[in-house]
Chains A and B, each alone.
Chain A
Amino acid sequence: MLFSSITFLYFFLPVTLVISFLTPKKYKNLVLLIASFLFYGWSSPGYLLLLIAVILTGYMAGIVIEKRHFAGGFAIGLFVLCLMICKYVPWLSKLGNHVTNGIVPVYQWVLPIGISFYTFQMISYVYDVSQKRIQAEKNLIHLATYISMFPQLIAGPIVRYETVQKEMQNRKMTWDQFAIGVRRFIIGLSKKVLLADVLGELVAALRAMDGKNTAMYWYFMIAFSLQLYLDFSGYSDMAIGLGGMLGFTIPENFRYPFISKSITEFWRRWHISLSSWFRDYVYIPLGGNRVSLGRWMVNMLIVWGLSGLWHGAGGHFLVWGLYFGVWLILEKRWLHGVLDKCPCWLQHIYTLLVVLISFIFFQMDTMQEAFQVLTGMFGFGQTNDVTMLYGTYQMKKYMLVLVIGSMASTPISVKLVQVIKEKSRIGNRILWFIEPFVLFGLLIIVTAFLLNSSFHPFLYFRF
């Protein structure tokens, strides 16, 4: 089920919220677990069995670890194997088939939705128990609810058990928290439906054009970068908002990454839960930066290579991850001092440029396509009159949405609201008064867009 669907918005969500409110504390997790299973199994009931198997394995591993430490490694191995089979075997078999001229058979199946997120959560739980950072959860319902909680089940953020453990055992659903959740949810939904999906139309239109000139390639990549950010951060906003409505505090996943002044800062602001997961569960166990320079560089490349592959099974994702690995090595060892001396605007341009180019590898399906876009951006594109006509038209058509999308990816509006609230009492009162109208107005407009649009899955679902 998608958050941006009528099934979810007007049926699943209100019914789940009302039942959760009315249910006694003791049974709240059970209600949330049943709702989450329904949410996950709605469009792919078969994969629900896999999710349940992962939960049961993690639960048993947690209990056994306290007596037999090796069980942790065994369980983590199982989760990694499960992820490998579901996500990477089709890609690897295709690669093997190509290399061996058809000797290796090709295996193809649909990736279970959200598997990268929930296996990572389970790995973090088992690892933390084995490291004695947290105690094993004895209550199966609590653990199953943590893994399958529908707000963050299929596209994150990747939540650690220690973050929600207390709330899992004892949480309060308050009107204040609920209202903040409603605001966050509607803002996230609007980012996704009104901006990301509309920019997605532009991206699809430009991508479909055979010949593009340099300006079109740049426009295409800027639009895609904004679409990706607004889509994913919109989803995270919705997850945080829904968590709030249900009494959970789900951690932030984005902090305006496009205002970063370095790649290091960018990754502290983009998909924070994944970056910190790789830091804590791969980078630090490998030795972190307390090793020789050579080993550290290898560690960095391993971590970023894996991060790339986490995003997708494909050579271009691996290149995408390694690309960032190389930039981060360069920054941390050599560029850091140089960047600090540069003017602020130059630091921003440098970061945006590196990130924009990275998204070429992220977006295109093959390396060949990625290089075509890359060369096109630097003046080697070929265009024709028809593409010019239609491309220019599309660029003009979506210009304002692109500007609004750019503004939404900076903290300008949030800061403006803060300033009004702090400096002007009347302004504060006006904001207080109009906020509900704006929120419900947005909900109506979002619904209108959903009714008139075709299917728009979240970009990060494929991971």
Chain B
Amino acid sequence: MKRGISIVFLIALLGIGMCHIVMPDTVISVSERRKLAAFPVVHMDRIWNGTFADDMETYLLDQFPLRDSLRKVQAQTEQKAFQMADVNGYYQIQDGIYEVADQTQEQYLQYAGVGFGKIAEQYFPEGNIYYSIIPDKNYFVAEQNGYPSMDYDKIEMIMQQNMKRQTLKSQYIDLFNTGLTMDDYYRTDLHWKQECLIPAAEYLIENMYDQKEHGLENKDVILQDTQEQAFDIAVATEAFAGAYLGASSFSVQPDTLFYLDNDLLRRCTVYDYEKKQEVSMYQYDKLESVDGYDFYLGGARALLRLDNPEQTDGRTLVLFRDSFGSSIAPLMLPYYKEIIMIDLRYVTMEYCQTQIALPRDADVLFLYNASMLNHANSFRF
């Protein structure tokens, strides 16, 4: 038996090492949504200062045989054997996966509020300024299941105080009490589902149209006309493995990703200022990328313009957004001539101005997920 243990131990270690060498390297880990390390460059300087050894270890970790399966073993051990409430910062309730919320970061929220306010004052002095916060999934489940959650009242309060300090005319649109539920979000991802967003989109539009400054006398007619244009619901993929599924390694079935479409949306165009070309509103090739949610408008794009050919004399909406905005923007497009979408994580206002004329009297909506606002230090003001 002892000889057996010894031989099996040696063969196991050698065998795995050999597999590692023989198996072809993988470039991207779809489940972890990241590039995997490639074999490090061999150079005397790098060997001498130890970076080659560090890079080699990273490479061996990334390219380890059966990596995804072993990551599941780790998740199962922590969940089942250690009874840990979360694994790598993710927790599971029934078949839904959630990320443990960070502490409320007041300084970043202040930074966001002040930055938004300054943008509103500087670039849209005659515009109608709105801002809204999208609840993250923790809002619906964390507290009642014993998990920490952000202080949402505080987030709203800090944003309101700092926006008001910069621009008195900004209006807050409260999305927390609009009937959004946990079912409106993907089980395996952080995002909301487009097919559930029609009420939220209409709520935003109605609130923006309700403002006196808007001056649209035919508001009700436009709302009525547009709301009557029904959307077709279609399946993009039945195997949408969201960001949380890969990061957590939990054994949960993937989601089905739907999208909404109709004749009007099909006639609308999307211009990507990074690619300097028109792109599709729904991009099938992105379903195979590291983030399937990029299906909507290509995901994290710095500057987009959505044009509605039916509203040639309508208004412009400038939408400051994160990835949540990609799925809701098409549902708001019927009400506007154009929607300019700006992601402040990737672009500054100075750059935007060199690319596109920003109407000073536009409707402006700052629409961000609560969790993103809590990490607003990545915004480029």
Contact = CB atoms under 8 A, between A and B. Distances in A.
Given A176-B2, A198-B82, A444-B70, 6 more contacts: A10-B13, A15-B14, A45-B47, A386-B103, A436-B1, A448-B72
Contacts of A178: 2, 6
Interface stretch (B56-64, B118-126, B287-295, B332-340): B56-64
B73 A401 contact: no
A449 B74 contact: yes
A10 B77 CA distance: 22
B20 interface: yes
A448 B77 contact: yes
B16 A10 contact: yes
Nearest to B77: A445
B70 A9 contact: no
B218 to A, nearest CB: 49
Contacts of B64: 6, 447, 451
Nearest to B84: A397
A1 interface: yes
Contacts of B10: 14, 17-18
B82 A7 contact: no
A19 to B, nearest CB: 11
B20 A451 contact: no
B147 A393 contact: yes
B50 interface: yes
A397 B60 contact: no
Contact of B57 (A5, A386, A393): A5
A435 B6 CA distance: 13
A401 B12 contact: no
Interface string A15-28: 10110000000000
A447 B73 CA distance: 9
25 contacts: A7-B57, A10-B13, A10-B17, A10-B20, A14-B13, A14-B14, A15-B17, A18-B10, A179-B6, A393-B100, A393-B147, A398-B84, A401-B84, A435-B5, A439-B5, A440-B8, A444-B70, A445-B73, A448-B72, A448-B74, A449-B77, A450-B61, A451-B64, A451-B70, A451-B74
A297 interface: no
A96 B138 CA distance: 52
Of all A-B residue pairs in the complex, the 5 with the closest CB atoms, nearest first, are A179-B2, A14-B13, A448-B73, A448-B74, A448-B70
Given A42-B53, A44-B50, A182-B6, A393 B85 contact: yes
B327 interface: no
A390 B53 contact: no
B249 interface: yes
A436 B4 contact: yes
A339 interface: no
B92 interface: no
A190 B14 CA distance: 20
B61 A393 contact: no
B39 to A, nearest CB: 13
B83 interface: yes
A253 to B, nearest CB: 23
Contacts of B77: 194, 445, 448-449
Contacts of A182: 5-6, 9
B1 A451 contact: no
Interface in A372-414: 386, 389-390, 393, 396-401, 404
A443 interface: yes
A175 interface: yes
A11 interface: yes
Contacts of B43: none
B60 A175 contact: no
A418 interface: no
Nearest to B86: A397
Interface string A22-63: 000000000000000000001111100000000000000000
A390 B103 contact: yes
Interface residues of A, number: 51
Interface residues of B, number: 48
A378 B148 CA distance: 27
A13 interface: yes
Interface in B49-108: 50, 53-54, 56-57, 60-61, 64, 67, 70-75, 77-78, 82-86, 88, 100, 103-104
A100 interface: no
A396 B83 CA distance: 10
A386 B104 contact: yes
A424 interface: no
A198 B85 CA distance: 13
Interface in A150-192: 175-176, 178-180, 182-183
A397 B5 contact: no
B101 to A, nearest CB: 9
A118 B49 CA distance: 22
Contacts of B212: none
Nearest to B72: A448
Interface in A315-361: none
A444 B73 contact: yes
Given A6-B57, A10-B20, A175-B3, A452 B48 contact: no
Contacts of B60: 6-7, 10-11
A74 interface: no
A371 interface: no
A447 B70 contact: yes
A18 B14 contact: yes
A435 B56 CA distance: 33
A178 B6 CA distance: 6
B5 to A, nearest CB: 5
Given A44-B50, A448-B74, A449-B74, A440 B12 contact: yes
Nearest to A181: B6
Nearest to A45: B48
Nearest to B3: A175
Given A43-B53, A401-B82, A393 B148 contact: yes
B203 to A, nearest CB: 31
Interface string B28-43: 0000000000000000
A432 interface: yes
Interface in B238-274: 249
A182 B3 CA distance: 11
Contacts of A18: 10, 14
A432 B17 contact: no
Contacts of B4: 436
A443 B56 contact: no
Contacts of B54: 43
Nearest to B56: A7
A400 B104 contact: no
A226 to B, nearest CB: 14
Contacts of A443: 12
A141 B57 CA distance: 30
B61 A179 contact: no
B305 to A, nearest CB: 41
Contact of B85 (A397, A439, A444, A445): A397
Contacts of A46: 48
Contacts of A386: 103-104, 151
Nearest to B54: A43
A440 B140 CA distance: 42
Contacts of A440: 8-9, 12
A182 B47 CA distance: 31
Interface string A427-463: 0000010011001100111011111100000000000
Contacts of A399: 83
A78 to B, nearest CB: 26
Contacts of B14: 14-15, 18
Given A7-B57, A13-B13, A436 B8 contact: yes
